[in-house]
Chains A and B, each alone.
Chain A
Amino acid sequence: MLQIVGIGLLATVLILIVREQKPIFAFLISAFVGIGIFLAMIGKIDSVVSVLEDLADRSGIPSVYLKTMLKIIGIAYIAEFGAQIVRDSGMESVASKIEFAGKMLILVMSVPIISVMIETVLNLLPS
């Protein structure tokens, strides 16, 4: 944790120095630091995901649902990451389009689950 905070502070100082001269390099440093911190944390997410898979196996949930859920989490991470980097460089409109695309893809992926849920609710209702 201390390492991450140190790298963040260091990167901020370097970005502030470089931005005076060349804003493009400041953008690249911020992207690099973001990717590095994300890569450092993704190993820990891996272990959490494997525990979740184990739990889902034991409770008998169909693995399609867990796969869809993990895909949705992955899409959310990627979309958020890209949108934040783009927003940092001042392109608010492009960032909001990336977020919009992420939301749309999540909606498309969750349609089967929603339809299954509605089927279940309809079966519960007395006809």
Chain B
Amino acid sequence: MNIDVSTIFQIAGIGIIVAMIHTVLKQMGKEDMAHWVTVIGFVVVLFMVVRLLNDLFQEIKTIFLFQ
């Protein structure tokens, strides 16, 4: 029973910082750059989540599906 709480904080922090950068870039009038920042942050966090999801599916496969 060891969930890495730090990763949850990491994701939330990335979200807040990306929102901040988005706002600043928008104020500077660089709309397209702001959207790219959002997309890149999203992809980074998506990598974290997908890696954990892969772990989960492997566990379920080994326990329930006998593969």
Chief secondary structure at chain B's binding surface: helix
List chain B residues, Cβ under 8 A from A45.
63
List chain B residues, Cβ under 8 A from A78.
57, 60
A74:B45 contact, CB within 8 angstroms: no
Q: How many residues of B contact A (CB 8 A)?
A: 35
B52:A36 contact, CB within 8 angstroms: yes
Name the residue on B nearest A82 (C-beta).
B53
How many residue pairs bridge A and B at CB < 8 Å? 105
Q: How many residues of A contact B (CB 8 A)?
A: 37
Residues of B that sit less than 8 Å from A by CB: 1-5, 7-9, 11-12, 14-16, 18-19, 22, 38, 41-42, 45-46, 48-49, 52-53, 55-57, 59-61, 63-66
